[in-house]
Structure 1
């Protein structure tokens, strides 16, 4: 099987536990790119949270693409041209902000430019997210959010608090939105039509790449959609056990350059 597009998640996959790219991973990605394989960073992070990684990996050049916001935004990594952008409405924001208050969890909304919270006592996981993705935090009341172009909303809290809240989310919310848990303390909410899988399908069509020529590498539940649509789903050794059930291959852990191993084993051989 010839692989022409490799979608790679960031946290828990591309990066080590110390948030670093190993030399082995860097070299494997450069070799794949030299063979005209499209290596596409595919993440729940906003674009600001991947810019430095794209530069470090030389994946911000002509012909490179990036998928962010769990598929809500697909861009040309060199020019910033948007191929796909799906946002939430102000009514969506109001409904989800009210639900967060009812469930007793912290919540924030993310645009391309910043993280917005209505929690006067800003949650520590909002601060964590802002640091992780290099974005500013803004306190805004719900009434001040009407003009914001929101791509993603996140319920964030201590794992036991978040899990209790998730168990009490009404079914109609699951029907209306895509809800994915990307970390024990993160539940991400995007449009129902948005997923990493749909973004990869769209990009593959744009590039005239058959889905039989695609591979994805991930570790968490927000990677499930892309693992289900590609021909060669790869899950990290450190990945969610439930995801491993749908993997064609289990690669090494993120701390053992698992992305490099997967690329060398099934793309470059």
Structure 2
């Protein structure tokens, strides 16, 4: 194997529009794992939202890893051991809550296998539910219902509004946490310094690999750092322009088995 670590964003990258891994892409990843590659699923999703794909790809049998919450948690999927975790500062959570209330934006968190929010009918909250296959639970007060020491909150709204909200929140709390869009309508609210690249660096060191041993795939703003980190950073054809501009290679889209196409090109043709 030319690359012993394969880091994959999920939505818009590994999965198609139905949020499924196609048989062709699964076959390519199973082959790579059998040939010694570690699959690393790196997503903004909560851990529970990544689990079905991790199990579908059988990464527990091949020393695979899950980086959830944009790298806020790292889990060894074989042992289920949590290798790393970071949390939002408690003093910023009321600020985020009050900002969302004032602006009328939906804010959501996670509790075990559920998404919790005061705005369950928001169309973007429903999209987060669909993506993660998690039920939505309406709560009267999100602050009182959040899990203790949350790793991430998510704010949602129309794309044009979220650009402004991202800027405003960065001004208000940017010295204490990170604020960025993972999709035009999603703002990730995470601990300071947490992104996919930093967590991948931690993981690679733990498993004795270098960044040159890794190929990474992504399509969104939150994938930029890991594509720059990897020995080869691959953007999907459907990636946002900023990601395509920074990638080492642009593969086919997530609807055309772009992950499988690039794995064949870089992991196998390079060995021939």
Asked whether the two chains share a fold, i.e. TM above 0.5, the reply is: yes
Structure 1 residues 132-153: Cα deviation after superposition (integer angstroms, max 9, x where no partner) = 2122333141551476231111
Structure 1 residues 74-122: Cα deviation after superposition (integer angstroms, max 9, x where no partner) = 0011221100111113322111111222333211123554322244x64
1:111–1:152 Cα contact (<8 Å) kept: no
User: Counterparts of 2:250 and 2:147 in 1: how far apart (Å)?
Assistant: 44
User: Counterparts of 1:257 and 1:182 in 2: how far apart (Å)?
Assistant: 22
What are the equivalent positions in structure 2 for 1:92-171 lying under 5 Å apart?
92-119=92-119, 122-138=121-137, 139-145=139-145, 148-171=148-171
Change (3 A) 1:60 1:107: same
The corresponding residue for 1:56 is: 56
Q: How many residues align?
A: 268
Change (3 A) 1:140 1:215: farther
The corresponding residue for 2:227 is: 227
Q: CA RMSD in A?
A: 2.0
1:12–1:219 Cα contact (<8 Å) kept: yes
Displacement of 1:62 in angstroms is: 5.3
The corresponding residue for 2:201 is: 201
Displacement of 1:51 in angstroms is: 1.4
User: Counterparts of 1:143 and 1:27 in 2: how far apart (Å)?
Assistant: 43
Change (3 A) 1:161 1:63: same
1:2–1:213 Cα contact (<8 Å) kept: yes
Displacement of 1:177 in angstroms is: 1.9
Change (3 A) 1:238 1:144: same
The alignment's TM-score, normalised by the length of structure 1, stands at 0.92
Unaligned stretches of 5+ residues in structure 1: none
1:72–1:87 Cα contact (<8 Å) kept: yes
The alignment's TM-score, normalised by the length of structure 2, stands at 0.91
Q: Is 1:68 aligned with 2:60? A: no
1:178–1:194 Cα contact (<8 Å) kept: yes
The corresponding residue for 1:192 is: 192
Unaligned stretches of 5+ residues in structure 2: none
Structure 1 residues 37-60: Cα deviation after superposition (integer angstroms, max 9, x where no partner) = 111111111111121111211112
List structure 1 segments (4+ residues) > 6 angstroms apart after TM superposition: none
The corresponding residue for 1:248 is: 248
1:154–1:189 Cα contact (<8 Å) kept: yes
Q: Is 1:81 aligned with 2:78? A: no
